[in-house]
Structure 1
Amino acid sequence: MKTPDDLRYTAEHEWARASDDGTTLRLGITDFAQQQLGDVVFVSLPEVGAEVDSGAPIGEVESTKSVSDIYAPIAGTVTARNDELDEHPDLINADPYGAGWIVEIAVADPSAIDTMLDAAAYQGMVDPH
C-alpha cells in the first residue's frame, strides 16, 4: 500500500496535496481506500463553484462492492473537478494519487491542512501493527 510522504490524510481515507502557496488543495481517495472498495465504476463529483464545509460529503465513489462518500477535509470552494472520471472512473484504482484525483478546493483557511494526518499517522491508522 502506498502512502506518499508529501500528502496529508484524513481518517475517512482522503488525501490532500496543497498547491505551492497553500491556497488550493487537490483531493482524492487513498490507495488503501481504493483497495477496500475494489473496482470503481462510477464517481459523483460536486460542481465547480460549490461551497463545501469541512467534514461534509461532497461526492460519492461507487464500486462493484459498495458506495462510499467523499468528504471535504477543509472548508472552501470547488475550483476544479476531474471530469476524466466520468468516462474512466477506474483511474482511481490505477493511479489514486495522480490521474485519479477527484476535486480541487480553494481553501478558506490554508493553515487548516496542518490539522490533517501526516503520512506516518495515516499509515499507523490503517496498519497499526
Structure 2
Amino acid sequence: MTIPQHLRYTKEHEWISVDGDVATVGITAFAAEALGDVVFVELPEAGSEVSAGTPCGEIESTKSVSEIYAPVDGEITEVNQAVIDTPESVNSDPYEQGWLFKVRVESMPELMDAAAYTALTQEG
C-alpha cells in the first residue's frame, strides 16, 4: 500500500493536500481497503462550514458506513461530483480521482506526516 510522502494525514484516515489556503481532502488507501467496495458517498455542500475533527459526510461500502471527518476548520469550496457519480473511484484511485472535497482553510490542527501515518496503520 502506498502512502504518498507529500500529504498530511489524520488519525481518522483522511489525507490532506494544501495549496495556498485551499486544501484537497480524501480518504487514504488504507481506509478505502478497510471499507471494501465503496457504493455511496455523501459529501458536505459547497459553501458549508466544517470544523476539524467533526463529521461532514459519509462513505458507504458493501461492508459498512463510515463518517468522513473534516481535517481542518474552513469553508467547503468544491465537492468531487465524479466521486458521487462513481463512488468506486475512492477504491481505485483514492489519492487522485477519488478526492472528496476542497476546503478554504481557516485553521489547521497538527496533522501526521507520512512516517507517522505509516506507524499508525502498522500498529494494529
How far is 1:14 from its partner? 0.3
Structure 1 counterpart of 2:105, from 88, 107, 110: 107
Could you tell me which runs of 5 or more consecutive residues in structure 2 were left unpaired when the two chains were aligned: none
Q: Which runs of 4+ in 1 moved over 6 A?
A: none
Aligned to 1:5: 5
What TM-score, normalized by structure 1, do the two folds share? 0.93
Aligned to 1:54: 52
Aligned to 2:94: 96
Q: What one-letter code is carried by the residue in structure 1 that aligns with 2:55?
A: P
Structure 2 counterpart of 1:39, from 32, 37, 40: 37
CA deviation vs aligned residue, 1:21-80 (integer Å, no higher than 9, x gap):
2x1110000000000000000000110000001111110000000000000011000000
Q: What one-letter code is carried by the residue in structure 1 that aligns with 2:2?
A: K
Q: In percent, how many aligned pairs have the same letter?
A: 48
What TM-score, normalized by structure 2, do the two folds share? 0.97
Alpha-carbon distance in structure 2 between the residues aligned to 1:54 and 1:16 = 12
Q: What one-letter code is carried by the residue in structure 2 that aligns with 1:26?
A: T
Q: Secondary structure at the match of 1:60?
A: strand
Q: As a proportion of its length, which structure holds more strand?
A: 2
Over aligned residues, Cα RMSD in angstroms? 1.1
How far is 1:2 from its partner? 1.1
